[in-house]
Chains A and B, each alone.
Chain A
Amino acid sequence: MVTLGTLSQGAALVFTLASMVLLLVGLMRNDLRWIRAGKRGLVAVAAFATLASIALAWLFLSDSFQVEYVASYSDRALPVFYKLTAFWAGQKGSLLFWAWVLAGFSALVVYNNRREPDSKVTAYVYLVLAGTLAFFLFLLTVVTNPFEVLGFTPPDGQGLNPMLQNPGMVFHPPTLFLGYIGFTVPFAYAVAAMVTGTTDAAWIRKTRAWNVLSWIFLTVGIILGGQWAYVELGWGGYWAWDPVENASFIPWLTSTAFIHTAIIQERRGIMRVWNMVLILLTFVLCIFGTYLVRSGVLQSVHDFGATGLGGYFLVFLGITLLGGLYLIAESYDEFRTPGTLESYLSRESTFLFNNVILLALAFATLFGTVFPLISEAVVGNKVTVGQPFFNQVNTPLFLVLLGITGVCPLIGWRKASPANLRKNFLRPAVGALVVGAVLVAAGIRQPYAWLAFTLAAFVAGTIVQEFVVAVAARSRLTGEASWNAALRLLWRLRRRYGGHLVHLGLVLIVVGIAGSSAYKLETQATLSRGESVEIGRYRLEYENFRIYDKFNRTVYAATLGVFAGDDRLGALDAERRYYINAKNPTTEVALRTTLREDLYVTMPGLARNGDITVKVAVNPLLVWIWIGGGLMVVGGVLAVIPARRKGRAS
């Protein structure tokens, strides 16, 4: 299997390089036969990358500890499921996963274009895909080979980091990768459009599904990462503004901006150059994030350390960025369209301002992330820029973005009339003010939290109002029952209402963040059996203690009865787990989730006499972050389902 993996990986690189040569010759000679051969080469690359991936997975499943990568991230006691997912636990496997998915996506692009005649445009698309593939396959084959064997076979592996033995962590990295990698396809189409001077929105339409799906994967990856941090790390939070987290969030922001302005190019044919800049930025930032993670230039809780790959990524990044900027500058006149707006008050202009805020957020996050490097270079002092800084700088920007989210989708194209503004925004604005007043009366006085809840009410109001009015109109026109009209409307105008659901998801996330950060309660206590600790409306009583073995770990579990007044609501098991092959125990969170709040318990201390130290927190509204994230994904999926093709002559 080691030989099969090594050979397959090498063959994938050879075929990628061959494809590039064939495509280049085809383009220079203007000969489609060469281009077709290059295209088929990409399909072969996908086959070889798949073989290499199967080989690595097999080596994990068969405990082949003679392979350095397998010995580093697996052991005999590891459950089979985690053995398989240890594939992407380290750098080498992650890179192979990246190359495999990109090869698969490239083959999918070839398949999607099967009914279209080959052209210069598709040839350049394949060339960019092949060039990116070549970079990753070069790293795998020459620099950091996952099939590298040790000079001996150790009796057991070092095992998988216990914190990675969590379902959230299993899916968090691959979904993020799928997002990062997916943006290669629209980037390739953008480059092809620039080189060939295709000035219409064809490439935007062609890559819409890729854009939205990549954005969905990035969203899922970020949400799963937050959820994993919350339930696994035991510090009670879900987002720490760590450089690695920021590395995924920044391209998410630029891709969100791109998805919005792509709509304008589709509908109005303007902002062509800007869209090129945004997709270039998104792709470059995906690579830059990987550079930050792999170079070790910044300290991160994710602890990837210096991996020696930073220089390679920096070179690839430089080539991509400079090449992209050169192409944009070169084709600027060709792409420049005399934009016309009929009014400041139009959807086009609000989309533009939404872009400004999204990019300001991306810039602020990037700037804060790399500021330690800047300060070290300028004043010789590597300051730390952590969570409080990002909260301070980004929170006002987020609130402006939230406000714009309510305005953008409902303001009229071209020119919003006073009637349009009155019809769409008066009731939600008044409703939001009433909500704001009620919140003040209820004691919600923390300024940011109050503003976040009030703006959330405004945005939710605009969405609900628009949907209710549309359902009523459809019901009136067709005679359908309201629920039937609502479902049909959702399905029929799925792109529109998918977008609204995404916005509604954002609203719920904001509610969850505001509630859980502004009104969190927290306490810590050391308890003997029978003693209790109180927090908010809860009382937790230490009832029982157990020690047992499960899979590859020994578990020390303290059972705490949860009471509200005299009512017993249930019991929570706070655990400390001692994994085989792990140096330190891990703390397992005990969680009681309701729509109102989370009761969050960890056991950081355990005494020989059976006393336990528990840290207890009440996180109001936190579950709405995950519900909102789910809604965003559902909305994105709904929006990306293609419309049925039908005759339009009628």
Chain B
Amino acid sequence: MKAGRAFLLAAVVAAAVGAGAPAWALTETEVSESLICYACPGEPLSIDRCSCGDQMRAVIRRMLAEGKDKDEILAYFTAQFGEEILTIPPKRGFNLVAYAGPFVGLAFGAVVAVLVVRRWSAAGARGGSKETDRAELPVDDAVRRRIERELSNLDAEE
């Protein structure tokens, strides 16, 4: 089967070249996205264009040139201005609620959806007719054309 062979080929190529991702240079923007301008509350440094922001950006560029990584640069600014300077809440204490909340919400929604689908499926099984795989039924060309025509009409009326 062609599709199966293509899948195998894809898997082999992926396995062969999968190792060793190239390192991408850290940019000023990547760091400044995680910081707020100390003079403009609420304004991410990556967007801010004020002179105080320029000072911060100059420090970031200097530290990048010195070979500092993102964590080191953020630690420097946190030591200077406190955690309020960060655009991302540190993952500890009450802040964990921010990280967990959306996924708890997702899990709750998924559980509700699964329960609903199960309940409706059970109701369908009790009340529904015996299922036959209609795609397997023999259909002659005339019937096929009629089905296609009627489905087209149905879709057009949607």
Q: List 23 A-B contacts (CB under 8 A).
A: A235-B46, A266-B158, A339-B120, A339-B123, A340-B124, A341-B121, A343-B124, A371-B97, A378-B94, A383-B83, A383-B95, A384-B87, A384-B89, A387-B87, A388-B88, A393-B99, A394-B102, A431-B6, A434-B9, A437-B10, A437-B11, A477-B145, A493-B156
Measured CB to CB, the closest approach of chain B to A581, in angstroms, equals: 19
Please tell me which one of the listed residues A299, A353, A431, A521 contacts residue B110 in the complex, with CB atoms under 8 A apart.
A353
Measured CB to CB, the closest approach of chain A to B99, in angstroms, equals: 7
> How many chain B residues touch A (Cβ–Cβ < 8 Å)?
73
Q: Does A440 lie within 8 Å of B123, measured CB to CB?
A: no
Complex formed: what's the CA distance from A301 to B46 in Å? 11
Complex formed: what's the CA distance from A499 to B27 in Å? 39
Closest residue of chain B to A363 (Cβ to Cβ) is B105
Chain B, interface SS category: helix
Chain A, interface SS category: helix
A389-B152 in contact given A341-B121, A384-B84, A643-B157 (Cβ < 8 Å):
no
The reply on A25 being an interface residue by CB < 8 A is: no
Which residues from chain B sit less than 8 Å from chain A, CB to CB? 3-4, 6-7, 9-11, 13-14, 17-18, 20-22, 24, 27-29, 33-34, 36, 41-44, 46-47, 49, 54, 61, 83-84, 86-89, 93-95, 97-99, 101-103, 105-106, 109-110, 112-113, 116-117, 119-121, 123-125, 127-128, 131, 133-136, 145, 148, 152, 155-158
The reply on A120 being an interface residue by CB < 8 A is: no
Residues of B within 8 A of A595 (CB): none
Measured CB to CB, the closest approach of chain A to B37, in angstroms, equals: 10
A430-B7 in contact given A301-B42, A417-B135, A524-B61 (Cβ < 8 Å):
yes
Please tell me which one of the listed residues A385, A417, A427 contacts residue B87 in the complex, with CB atoms under 8 A apart.
A385
Kindly list the 10 A-B residue pairs having the minimum CB-CB distance in the complex, ordered from nearest.
A299-B42, A386-B87, A364-B102, A445-B21, A360-B106, A340-B124, A341-B120, A437-B10, A437-B13, A339-B120
Sample of 14 further A-B pairs with CB below 8 A, known A270-B120, A433-B11: A299-B41, A338-B123, A339-B116, A339-B119, A342-B131, A352-B113, A355-B113, A357-B106, A389-B88, A418-B133, A445-B22, A521-B27, A522-B28, A522-B29
The A372-421 residues at the B interface (CB cut-off 8 A) are: 374-375, 378-379, 383-389, 392-394, 397, 415, 417-420
A385-B117 in contact given A301-B42, A367-B101, A495-B155 (Cβ < 8 Å):
no
Complex formed: what's the CA distance from A342 to B117 in Å? 9
Complex formed: what's the CA distance from A353 to B113 in Å? 7
Closest residue of chain A to B33 (Cβ to Cβ) is A387
Q: Does B98 lie within 8 Å of A389, measured CB to CB?
A: yes
Measured CB to CB, the closest approach of chain B to A93, in angstroms, equals: 25
Measured CB to CB, the closest approach of chain B to A47, in angstroms, equals: 36
Q: Does A356 lie within 8 Å of B83, measured CB to CB?
A: no
The reply on A326 being an interface residue by CB < 8 A is: no
The reply on A587 being an interface residue by CB < 8 A is: yes
